[in-house]
């Protein structure tokens, strides 16, 4: 029997609570031979206490949602926190209903806890927000949010009717991608909108952003190695603890192997000191000027 960890919760603007540590599903469902292990990994994580699963209609064209749907089958729906995302081109009256229905079907549920606009693209924010509110009122989603929104996008969102009902912004954030610390972090704090960090462990160094920047250095840096050694933890655990240190930040690392999932769950209890953060910042400083938002 897996011993359940105590996950932490963060408060959303609508007064509800969301698990601080969840599980990503991107790249799942792409290879049929890995399917069983991916389902088993998510199930293992849920039994361990990682009840939030993050998916998207885009991931493997629905197959990641299908993997997540298989994994949640034997759990009580009310114990789970299911998140999915709609493509911007589908976040309109003509497509959002069928997009959501497909996601719900694949996930094997009749509502989502959180529905995100995957990125802004050409979405008409007034229309998207109107539809998100409608889906909420119909009970199809509990709440909605956005992803990959920078300050200018959030400001535009704040101007449309009900735009301020946005519950979360999911963005790329890890020790090697600290752009939000320049301005978006403060902007959202003032509005009490929390974050979800994607690629929180920089894909264990394999991350290459849309702009072609590799995050390989994260795994080899002398300061990272030294801080990890001082705490007796792995580099990936340190990277995750760095993200989790922010109280308004949820993290959704993707992991298939139970050993990785155990490590990640244990990162909830790692407390980094100011000295640790200073040392990490010596290698990976917070930005001192506006940076283009990093995306995957
Ligand atoms: N909103 C967006 O635009 C967006 C974009 C990208 C991702 N996402 C979401 O965010 C989730 C996480 O991001 P991500 O998948 O890009 O990257 P990530 O979580 O930073 O890294 C995933 C990779 O790290 C490995 N890993 C995980 N824990 C580990 C550990 N303890 N030790 C060693 N390696 C470990 C995994 O290996 P194994 O799988 O082999 O265990 C996998 O290869 C995605 O799955 C997706 O749900 C959202």
For the chain, what percentages of helix, strand and coil (3-state, to nearest 5) are there?
45, 15, 40
Q: Is the pLDDT of residue 4 over 90?
A: no
Per residue in 23-74, pLDDT (tens digit) is: 999 999 999 999 999 999 999 999 999 999 999 999 999 999 999 999 999 9
pTM here? Answer: 0.98
Element (H, E) at 92: none
CA–CA separation, 140 and 117 (whole Å): 15
Element (H, E) at 274: helix 274-283
In a domain, 244, yes or no: no
* Nearest residue (CA) to ligand 1, atom 22: 203
CA–CA separation, 27 and 64 (whole Å): 7
Mean pLDDT of 257-267: 97
User: Is 244 in a helix, a strand, or coil?
Assistant: helix
In a domain, 290, yes or no: no
In a domain, 218, yes or no: no
In a domain, 224, yes or no: no
What one-character-per-residue DSSP string does 261-273 give?
HHHHHHGGG----
Whole-number pLDDT of residue 1: 59
- Token look-up 């290698």 returns 283
Whole-number pLDDT of residue 159: 98
The number of distinct structural domains making up the chain is 1
Atom of ligand 1 nearest to the CA of 203: 21
Tokens for 108, please give them. 């094997």
Question: Could you count the other beta carbons within 10 Å of the beta carbon of residue 212?
Answer: 6
Q: Is the pLDDT of residue 2 over 80?
A: no
Tokens for 3, please give them. 């011993």
Assign residue 120 the CATH number of its domain.
Answer: 3.20.20.100
Per residue in 80-94, pLDDT (tens digit) is: 999 999 999 999 999
Per residue in 153-168, pLDDT (tens digit) is: 999 999 999 999 999 9
* Nearest residue (CA) to ligand 1, atom 27: 255
Mean pLDDT of 115-139: 98
User: Is 56 in a helix, a strand, or coil?
Assistant: coil
Per residue in 197-233, pLDDT (tens digit) is: 999 999 999 999 998 999 899 999 999 999 999 999 9
Whole-number pLDDT of residue 133: 98
| Partners of 169 in the β-ladder | 146, 195
- Which candidate, 91, 293, 121, places its Cα nearest to that of 211? 293
Mean pLDDT of 237-248: 98
Residue 3 binned pLDDT confidence (cut-offs 50, 70, 90): confident
In a domain, 115, yes or no: yes
Identify whether the C-beta of residue 263 lies closer than 8 Å to the C-beta of residue 241: no
Identify whether the C-beta of residue 165 lies closer than 8 Å to the C-beta of residue 144: yes
In a domain, 65, yes or no: yes
Q: What's the whole-number average pLDDT of the chain?
A: 97
CA–CA separation, 165 and 157 (whole Å): 10
* Nearest residue (CA) to ligand 1, atom 5: 296
In a domain, 2, yes or no: no
Ligand 1 geometric centre to CA of 292 (Å): 22
In a domain, 236, yes or no: no
Which pairs from 137-142 meet CB under 8 Å and 24+ separation? Answer: 139/111, 140/100, 140/104, 140/110, 140/111, 140/112, 141/100, 141/111, 141/112, 141/113, 141/114, 141/115, 142/16, 142/111, 142/112, 142/113, 142/114
Ligand 1: residues within 6 Å at CB? 24-26, 54, 118, 147-148, 170, 198-204, 236, 252-257, 260, 263-264, 296
- Domain extent, residue 119, equals 12-205+249-255
């Amino acid at each position: 029997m897996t011993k359940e960890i105590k996950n932490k919760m963060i408060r959303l603007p609508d007064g509800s609570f969301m698990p601080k540590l969840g599980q990503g599903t991107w790249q799942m469902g792409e290879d049929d031979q890995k399917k069983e292990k991916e389902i088993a990994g998510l199930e293992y994580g849920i039994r361990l206490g990682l009840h939030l699963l993050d998916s998207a209609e885009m991931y493997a064209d629905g197959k990641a949602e299908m993997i997540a749907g298989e994994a949640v089958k034997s759990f009580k729906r009310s114990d789970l926190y299911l998140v999915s995302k709609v493509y911007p081109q589908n976040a309109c009256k003509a497509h959002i209903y069928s997009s959501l229905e497909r996601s719900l079907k694949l996930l094997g549920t009749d509502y989502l806890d959180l529905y995100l606009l995957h990125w802004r693209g050409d979405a008409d924010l007034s229309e998207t927000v109107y539809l998100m509110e409608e889906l909420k009122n119909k009970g199809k989603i509990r709440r909605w949010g956005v992803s990959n929104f920078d300050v200018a996008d959030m400001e535009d969102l704040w101007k449309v009717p009900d735009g301020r009902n946005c519950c979360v912004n999911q963005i790329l954030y890890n020790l090697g991608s600290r752009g939000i610390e320049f301005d978006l972090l403060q902007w959202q704090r003032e509005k009490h909108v929390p974050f979800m960090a994607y690629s929180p462990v920089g894909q264990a160094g394999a991350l290459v952003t849309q702009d072609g920047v590799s995050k390989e250095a994260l795994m080899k840096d002398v300061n990272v190695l030294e801080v990890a050694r001082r705490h007796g933890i792995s580099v990936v655990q340190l990277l995750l603890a760095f993200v989790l240190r922010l109280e308004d930040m949820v993290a959704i690392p993707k992991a298939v192997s139970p050993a990785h999932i155990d490590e990640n769950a244990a990162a909830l209890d790692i407390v980094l000191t100011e000295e640790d953060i200073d040392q990490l910042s010596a290698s990976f400083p917070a930005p001192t000027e506006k940076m283009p938002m990093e995306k995957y």
